[in-house]
Structure 1
């Protein structure tokens, strides 16, 4: 099933802590509806502004639905690096445009040992997508600028960018257990998109 292009990363970019909280609740046996209710009522995400919960929760729940029991266990029991990779995978699984960015720009660069992500790379990507998609073409310049920043934020927080200001990419070290599991469930394209 091909996802629609979306700019939802603007309101819900990385959110690793929040995803881990809902994964814990799922592992406790709560239904999605019970998780939603608990997150809102108990302010599980510890947001100062309740409207932020309503903005981010749909994206987090979509990511949760893409994480099977095996990945959920890895996320809760393994290192923070493992959690970051699973979150990056869940973002790609729920955001077609971001997946294409990873697959067409990041994978290509890492495969060619070109670790410099320049502004023009991102601009060329969004220009091409707005030529291919009426939906992307309809987005305002402000929306697209915010989305570019959100993409950079995801790359930085997942460990793919060396630091917030450099444009130098890192090759992620992905645990063999995760690699093998994603291959087993037919999701090897996401490992490749991360440059592995």
Structure 2
């Protein structure tokens, strides 16, 4: 993770859960990465609006999946839909350092202190703090930071970790499948697990 540079890549990447699910289902049925990419190129299995967008999607989905330990990928098809969404979010966290730090420093912190109300100011404060620590983040335009804030919010909502209640956005702590939790403990993924457990 420390080798990853801060990036604003999230502004151009969706949560893309249906694509992630399709890719992992095909992997679990024995298809290879190259074959799935050829299927996308030929038959647009991800239903992308254009060929170039489809290529971008499949490459990003493959990158997220490759970041996950094999033992976690192997249990994908046995997990509930909500846990599969968590795996997609985990893949994003493992390939996007800035988003991981947002999850660790903002989302996890909110669960720990029990202040579950969330608004865009929390992301703004996070990005301002990062700007003081990193020239790369400091050089992002205000527009990019605003779009990043929107992307992070969308990721949380699409993963089921942010819900609307009575006009407020509320952080939700997931209930993880025991086998997923065990694999994350076994594979040295405790920093990521701590995000979801609020520890």
Tell me the CA shift for residue 99 of structure 1: 0.4
User: 1:32-181, aligned counterparts within 5 Å?
Assistant: 32-163=33-164, 166-181=168-183
Tell me the CA shift for residue 71 of structure 1: 2.2
Which TM-score applies when normalising by structure 2?
0.90
Contact 1:8–1:59 (CA<8 Å) still a contact in 2? no
Equivalent pairs counted in the alignment come to: 196
Unaligned runs of 5+ in 1: none
Does the residue aligned with 1:124 lie in a helix, a strand or coil?
A: helix
Structure whose residues are more often strand by fraction: 2
Tell me whether 183-192 or 13-22 shows the greater mean CA deviation: 13-22
1:138-181 deviation line (CA, Å, top 9, x unaligned): 22222211111010001001111113963211111111111110
Unaligned runs of 5+ in 2: none
Change (3 A) 1:56 1:137: farther
Distance 1:10 1:22 in 2: 22
Distance 2:59 2:130 in 1: 24
Does the residue aligned with 2:164 lie in a helix, a strand or coil?
A: coil
Contact 2:47–2:54 (CA<8 Å) still a contact in 1? no
Distance 1:136 1:55 in 2: 24
Contact 2:120–2:149 (CA<8 Å) still a contact in 1? no
State the Cα RMSD in Å.
1.8
> Residue 23 of structure 2 aligns with which residue?
22
Contact 1:13–1:151 (CA<8 Å) still a contact in 2? no
